Amino acid sequence: MIAVTGLTKQYGGRTVVDDVSFTLEPGTVTGFLGPNGAGKTTTMRMVAGLVPPTAGTALVHGRPYPALPNPGAVLGTLLDAAAVHPGRTGRTHLRLIADALGVPASRVDEVLELVDLTSAGGRRIRGYSLGMRQRLGIAAALLADPPVLMFDEPANGLDPEGIRWMRSLLRDHAARGGTVLLSSHLLGEVEHTVDRLLVIGGGRIVADGPVASLLGADGVAVAAADVGALARALTAAGLEVAPGSDGGLVVAGATTAEVGAVAAAGGHVLTDLRPLQRGLEDVFFSLTAA
């Protein structure tokens, strides 16, 4: 579990993270969304104790990260796949981490196989592609099978198969009771992976909730054999009606049940009736536009 309260970071007079609070529960995958410079990475680095906060606290399993007895065994992190010594082999890199964590050396081969780097494990990291470095970083984060995972832009450099694999990995981790915080610019990737979204813009959390509620209906799209008659009936019922695309109608603030009831009462033949759902990109840009 991660509990962040009033986390703030200022550089000089510039506030890059402003009073950010959230709690991540076990069994969930949370997406951390925001444009470049919104404060995602700085927030994650403060959670991991790499950047000292100006104010606020970040607790992992009830303690600040630096106060955990063996922090890498509690929070598996992937913050920067390039932050490795290029002159070491992938296997040596993982063995050093395994020894620091106190996990058996055999686990190194397990995670190398898991991320499909077994054959490349003996090569120096400078020869790895971005996607391979990303998978090596994921392998390092998984070495101790920590209950909490925090990945910053993990899909960078991964091919479509790799992205799909990572999505399964994170969902599977949450299904086993783990907690996952995942930041990404790949909105589609987040949409299909997370249970909950934290949207950050200008250093502040601008939206926090389940994906379904953030993408949820803010009206109903309806079409009928006689659109004009249906429009008059809906207006007479006190609903706000506007022309929609494809010749249908958009009824703002209504539910499908309300619109269906009006149509049934008037004997209107409906050819379409569905809740309006905003795309994640619409939500993202409307919330972070400021």
Residue 130 makes contact with another protein by CB under 8 A: no
Q: Of the listed pieces 43-51, 226-234, 244-252, 271-279, which binds another protein according to CB under 8 A? A: 43-51
Residue 147 makes contact with another protein by CB under 8 A: no
DSSP character string of 46-113: HHTTSS--SEEEEEETTEEGGGSSSGGGTEEEES-TT-S-TTSBHHHHHHHHHHHHT--THHHHHHHH
Residue 165 beta carbon to another protein: minimum distance, rounded to whole angstroms: 4
**By C-beta, is 162 or 248 nearer to another protein?**
162
**Out of 21, 25, 37, 85, the residue judged to bind another protein by CB under 8 A:** 85
Within its chain, how far is the Cα of 245 from the centroid?
Answer: 31
**Out of 20, 47, 60, 79, the residue judged to bind another protein by CB under 8 A:** 79
Within its chain, how far is the Cα of 67 from the centroid?
Answer: 26
**Out of 1, 3, 101, 186, the residue judged to bind another protein by CB under 8 A:** 101
Residue 73 makes contact with another protein by CB under 8 A: yes
Residue 90 makes contact with another protein by CB under 8 A: no
Residue 187 beta carbon to another protein: minimum distance, rounded to whole angstroms: 23
Residues of span 110-129 touching another protein by CB under 8 A: 110, 113-116
**By C-beta, is 72 or 219 nearer to another protein?**
72
Residue 140 makes contact with another protein by CB under 8 A: yes
**Out of 60, 139, 169, 187, the residue judged to bind another protein by CB under 8 A:** 169
Beta bridge partners of 8: 55
**By C-beta, is 137 or 248 nearer to another protein?**
137
Residue 164 beta carbon to another protein: minimum distance, rounded to whole angstroms: 9
Within its chain, how far is the Cα of 250 from the centroid?
Answer: 30
Check residue 248 and give left, alpha or beta (phi > 0: left; psi -120 to 50: alpha).
beta
Total residues interacting with another protein, rule: CB under 8 A: 51
Residue 49 makes contact with another protein by CB under 8 A: yes
Beta bridge partners of 55: 8
Q: How far apart are CA 188 and CA 75, in angstroms?
A: 25
* 184, burial (CB in 10 Å: exposed 0-12, middle 13-18, buried 19+): buried
Q: How many CB atoms lie within 10 A of CB 204?
A: 16
Within its chain, how far is the Cα of 234 from the centroid?
Answer: 39
Which are the contacts of 208, defined by CB distance < 8 A and separation ≥ 6? Answer: 22, 196, 197, 198, 199
Residue 36 makes contact with another protein by CB under 8 A: no
CB distance 86 to 106 below 8 Å: no
Q: How many CB atoms lie within 10 A of CB 49?
A: 17
**By C-beta, is 134 or 262 nearer to another protein?**
134
- Which residues sit at the interface with another protein, rule CB under 8 A? 45, 48-52, 65-66, 69-73, 77, 79-80, 82-88, 92, 96-97, 99-104, 107, 110, 113-116, 135, 140, 143-145, 161-162, 165, 168-169, 172-173, 176
